[in-house]
Amino acid sequence: MTVMQKIQNDAVVAAIHPLDPLTLEEIGAACDLVKANGKVTPRCRFPIVRLEEPSKAELRSHATGTPLPRLAFVVALESETGAATEFIVDLTASRIVDTKLLPNADAPYGQPPVMIAEFMLCEQIVKADEGWRNAMRRRGMSDRDMEMAQVDPFSSGFFDRDFERGRRILRAVTFFREDIKDNAYAHPVEGVVAVVDLVHQKVVDLLDDDKVIPIPKKKRNYGAYENTNPRTDIKPLNIEQPEGPSFKVDGWKVDWQKWSFRVGFTPREGLVLHQLAYQDGEHKRSIIHRASVTEMVVPYADPTANHYWKSAFDAGEYGLGMLANALELGCDCLGNIHYFNIPAADEQGQPFEMKNAVCMHEEDYGILWKHYEFRNGLFEVRRSRRLVISFFATVGNYDYGFYWYLYQDGTIQLEAKLTGIIQTAAVMPGEKYAWGGMVDDNLGGPTHQHFFNVRMHMDLDGGGNTVTEHEFAQRPWGTDNPYGNAFDLKSKTLSRERDAAAIADGQSGRYWKVTNPNSKNSVGNPVGYKLIVTPSPVMLAQEGSFVRKRGGFATKHVWVTPYDPAEKYASGDYPNVHAGGDGLPHYIEQNRNIENTDIVLWHSFGHTHVCKPEDFPVMPVEYAGFMLKPNGFFAANPANDIAPERNRRSVLSANGAGAAAASSCCGKS
């Protein structure tokens, strides 16, 4: 009996859907098959283990009864040589069906993501290095101080230096601490940067600036135990659903308020939404086949030694999914919560479960629609409710929450929540920080940008989809505009990839629609959804800079490509220590047709952050995101059928003449 046959004997596993994440048993089986195939050594590590997802066509076949094999995608990294190999493992047949050795020693290079154990190894290597210890002594640190110091490993970036090309490296900066619980970011050690080769386990380059800037020593701790005067006037806020939540969960499948979808999760992207559809009368209408955040980049605007190279690609270089938090009721999530535990692989290829990694709950969201008709006294109002599916990842000093919202009127929203602790820079006494904002005495915060890219494999009513671009324009005075009040909406159909790469424009109100020209709405137009974006700054690094080459996806707000299973990530497959030129700018060089075909809509959005005192010691949440709203998709307001709330107090007007006197806050006929 094969490993997979044993798995299939389990009644629970036998009901696996082709898009369900790998189970713990499948993860263990996949890694065991890789270990046993003779192409890896016992010292290999497993930075990536995930489901190799079936295509749309394969899923359609499965829906008609065709069985599909369960495939796993596994990356094995040899810790002693740095060699990395991709494997496709057929779990149904218990065999490896494809193998690819990564050309990470050749330009443009690229490495699998950094693993947690490598963070710890990096700190050990740095602290044992005599050059680093001498640099610390020059800054007044004792041997005890060095042991207590916090060494932050950072993805290195790439600047075409000998010790970067084809090497598995990290850069590391240092922070002073007196106590293990101190907020080390209040005490940066400026002018010392170590470059660590993780394969050869040594420091291969050390910057020790001749100019010694004193380490800021003022404590800025934030733990609850440090707060000696907490607020005492916050009253309890209880959220109760005595009849339970309105959603239904069947394994990884969710139904809620006419919405249906499947939850997925990968080590790189974290939360994935599959087969997002809306029940419109008797028809379940597909909208998005797959949606996820595939990449981030955080470039810094300080050109000095400690900061110019900082440009973390938090998904591709670390893995948002691998760094997901275990969420806590009442803190991260409030209300009647459903948690998803995520099966994962550790670096040795052993399966484990990430507890409470994804949270799902309902929220009241104010008014959904309302009207008071004073002529006949008809008063109708409905409250909005939304479904929240979320996870949080901590990547070094920053914490990122990713919240997908589904609304009863067919709206889809993604909101990124940015919090945590800013990167800091020591400043000479009496001077101002030139590359950002001062946040405390002798302490600056470098200006930087956060970019996210969401990939949406569209499936509007199935079949071919098209993207159109729209913007408003004034109409000149004339016989057709005698009062000067008329203005126009200019529209164009995007036919080729290069036509579609674009930047939002707040002045013209530029927006985009995804349509299906093969499916017409109630007024004879193609059904559509509107992409609503914020016209925030795109990447501000100069053309020709290494970070711009590596993070080219952040130079445009919108990209459209035809679906290609090899084009999964906005920055390319392996951005870690990559020379650049991969990802979306590379994909669209082919200038393929994107009209009435199977398309992927990519949206880059973010936040440009000039640091201020209010951002320290912990930054209040900043928000970034976008919406997809139905635009000619439905025949009418799809939320018209929501019933009034019950058991609400009467709404009575204090004004007698012409006032509404409703028997409830939601409806009076």
Can you spell out the DSSP letters for 370-407?
Answer: EEEETTTTEEEEEEEEEEEEEEEEEETTEEEEEEEEEE
pLDDT at 367: 97
- In this structure, what DSSP letter does residue 476 have? P
Cis peptide leading into residue 617 (ω within 30°) = yes
Q: Are 7 and 91 in contact (CB under 8 A)?
A: yes
What H or E segment, with its residue span, contains residue 28? Answer: helix 24-35
Q: Can you list the alpha helix ranges (DSSP code H) found in 55-188?
A: 56-63, 116-128, 130-138, 143-148
Q: Are 472 and 616 in contact (CB under 8 A)?
A: no
Angle between the 130-138 and 116-128 helix axes, to the nearest 10 degrees? Answer: 70
pLDDT 10s digits, 338-397 = 999 999 999 999 999 999 999 999 999 999 999 999 999 999 999 999 999 999 999 999
Cβ density class 210-244: b for 16+ within 10 Å, e for less: eebbebbeeebeeeeeeeeeeeeeeeeeeeeeeee
Instruction: Spot the catalytic one: 109, 318, 398, 569.
Output: 398
Query: Can you say how many angstroms the Cα of residue 96 is from the centroid of all Cα atoms in its chain?
Result: 31
pLDDT at 663: 42
pLDDT at 650: 37
Alpha-carbon distance of 404 to 276, in angstroms, equals 12
Cis peptide leading into residue 108 (ω within 30°) = yes
Q: Is 524 left (phi over 0), alpha (psi -120 to 50) or beta?
A: left
- In this structure, what DSSP letter does residue 614 have? G
- In this structure, what DSSP letter does residue 644 have? P
Per-10-residue mean pLDDT of the chain, 669 residues long, equals 44 70 98 95 97 96 95 97 97 97 89 97 98 98 98 97 96 97 98 98 97 97 92 93 96 98 98 98 97 98 98 98 92 92 98 97 96 95 97 97 98 98 98 98 98 98 95 97 97 98 97 98 97 97 98 98 98 98 98 98 98 98 98 97 66 41 49
pLDDT at 51: 98
Query: Can you say how many angstroms the Cα of residue 636 is from the centroid of all Cα atoms in its chain?
Result: 33
Cα dist. 245→156, 238, 260 in Å?
46, 15, 15
Alpha-carbon distance of 292 to 319, in angstroms, equals 13
Alpha-carbon distance of 585 to 497, in angstroms, equals 10
pLDDT 10s digits, 148-159 = 999 999 999 999
Range 547-550 contact pairs with CB under 8 angstroms and sequence separation of 24 or more:
547/157, 547/297, 547/299, 547/311, 548/580, 549/579, 549/580, 549/581, 550/157, 550/158, 550/297, 550/311, 550/313, 550/575, 550/578, 550/579, 550/580
Closest alpha carbon to 222 in 83, 397, 369: 397
Alpha-carbon distance of 396 to 298, in angstroms, equals 12
Please give the radius of gyration of the chain, using alpha carbons only, rounded to the nearest integer. Answer: 27
Closest alpha carbon to 307 in 393, 136, 210, 433: 433
Alpha-carbon distance of 613 to 440, in angstroms, equals 7
For residue 314, indicate whether it is catalytic: yes
Q: Which residues contact 452 (CB under 8 A, 6 or more apart)?
A: 293, 295, 296, 416, 604, 605, 606, 624
SS3 call for 342: strand
Q: Are 198 and 81 in contact (CB under 8 A)?
A: no
Alpha-carbon distance of 557 to 349, in angstroms, equals 37
pLDDT at 63: 92
The first and second tokens of residue 661, run together, are: 């006197």
Place of tokens 């020591």: 426
For residue 109, indicate whether it is catalytic: no
Alpha-carbon distance of 295 to 451, in angstroms, equals 8
Instruction: Spot the catalytic one: 90, 314, 582, 598.
Output: 314
Q: Are 606 and 536 in contact (CB under 8 A)?
A: yes
Alpha-carbon distance of 535 to 530, in angstroms, equals 15
Sign (positive or negative) of CA dihedral 252, 326, 157, 552: positive
DSSP string over 531-550: EE--------SPTT-HHHHH
DSSP string over 194-238: EEEETTTTEEEEEEE-SSPPPPP-------GGG-SS---------
pLDDT at 331: 86
Cα dist. 234→109, 237, 238, 481, 621 in Å?
54, 9, 12, 57, 20
What's this model's pTM, rounded to 2 decimal places? 0.94
